[in-house]
Amino acid sequence: MTVITESDVMAALSRVNDPELHRNVVELGMVRDLSINDGKVAFTLALTIPECPLRDQLEQEARAAVEALPGVTQVVVTLGAMNEEERAAALGQSQPERPKTNPFNQVRQVIAIMSGKGGVGKSSVTALLALGLARQGHQVGILDADITGPSIPKLFGLRAGAVRNSPMGMLPTVAAEGIKVMSINLLLPDEDTPVIWRGPILSGVIQQFWTDVFWDRLDYLLVDLPPGTSDAALTVMQSLPLDGVIVVTTPQDLAAMVVRKAVHMTEQLNMPVIGVVENMSYFVCPDSGRQYEIFGPSHADEIAAIAGAPVLARLPIDPELARLGDGGQIAAYNTTLVAELGQAFKAQVLVASPERAQSNSTG
């Protein structure tokens, strides 16, 4: 009968790498409470964060590595989490290297727009915020990080295959109000072409949109994230020089529950939340002017309290916005809400980062 030793198990687990930290789970101190009893191997895998999006992958790879050892009859893996000190030590030793900045670019503020929930209107909010800032005289760009479901080009009426190269890098397409846009849909032959790539490739493209694009001088680069808290969000938060995050939600309790996950993710990655935008907050009846909460009462204040940030705006359900967006004419949406969103954002950035924001307002 083959005798399994602790050294055998640890050697097997040392071949399992954390995809984000690029080091093995033994070296990172993730393997805990190892026990071996008559061919049964049990251990705890302490993740850097409890909601780690790669938890299933790590568990499967760790289990498979130990099951491959001669004499192992059963493997029991319990998922745990590191405490704050352990996580700080692991991340401090293994923080992914930030991509080099394009030397021709001067980008003052990089802001991500995110939500754990799909369908809440992150892209519309990103576009409206970009318009509000551009109309105040700022140089604005949008990095569309939703590689598999890009929406920004459609909203602005930008055609596929519109990107050109230059000695300084890829040239973003210039939309209405001078807003610069880079999106995967601008690189494809047709806007309906699907992007069927795995996470590492998607992450690499997002990084290239930062390093290989000639953004030139921008006051604000807005990063439109896809739903969820996995590869794309991690790539942006760990690889791009983000100054903060705007969280988008809708009134439904289900949406609020999922959005809270995104807020907790920003906390665990030490990323400041600049503010909360509640989209589809109410509907104004055109006949009476009365407001109706179509999707139920607001949860914006609750999410803002968790995030430690203010509510920047509550945006209504507006059929005119939907019509213009579908027609690629979102820049024609010209209500006071657009200006107010831009002003509320700028005021909060000034509070959160006075030196950099002040340079934006005077530059």
Question: Lowest-confidence range among 60-74, 81-95, 181-195?
Answer: 81-95
Nearest-angstrom CA–CA distance, 299 and 249: 8
Same domain, 87 and 112: no
Q: Which of 65, 94, 123 is the last residue of a domain?
A: 94
pLDDT tens figures, 329-340: 999 999 999 999
Contacts of 110 (CB under 8 A, 6+ apart): 220, 221, 223, 240, 241, 242, 243
Task: Please check whether residues 86 and 117 belong to one and the same domain.
Answer: no
Separation between Cα atoms, residue 353 and residue 200, nearest integer Å: 32
268 and 157 co-located in one domain: yes
Higher pLDDT, 229 or 286: 286
CA–CA gap between residue 216 and residue 224 (Å, rounded): 19
Task: State what percent of residues in the chain have pLDDT above 70.
Answer: 92
Q: What is the pTM of this model?
A: 0.72
Question: How high is the pLDDT of residue 93?
Answer: 53
| Residue given tokens 């005077």 in the structure block | 362
Residue 336 maps to which CATH number? Answer: 3.40.50.300
Where a domain ends, among 67, 94, 121?
94
Type and span of the H or E element at 36? strand 31-37
Position 101 scores a pLDDT of 74
Q: Which residue has the higher pLDDT, 344 or 234?
A: 344
Q: With bands split at pLDDT 50, 70 and 90, how would you rate the model's confidence at 72? A: very high
Tell me whether residue 35 is in a domain: yes
32 pairs with which residues across the strands? 44
Which domain-ending residue is among 94, 119, 142?
A: 94
CA-to-CA distance for 31 and 146, rounded, in angstroms?
Answer: 34
Q: What is the mean pLDDT of residues 9-28?
A: 84
pLDDT of 96 > 60? The answer is: no
Query: What pLDDT digit, counting tens, does each position of 35-52 carry?
Result: 999 889 999 999 887 767
β-strand partners of 292:
283
Mean pLDDT over each residue of the chain, to the nearest integer: 87
Residue showing tokens 């705007």: 246
| Pair (66, 127) in one structural domain | no
Q: Which domain holds residue 225?
A: 106-362
Statement to judge: residues 255 and 297 lie in one domain: yes
- Assess if residue 1 is contained within a domain: no
Give the mean pLDDT of 140-152. 94
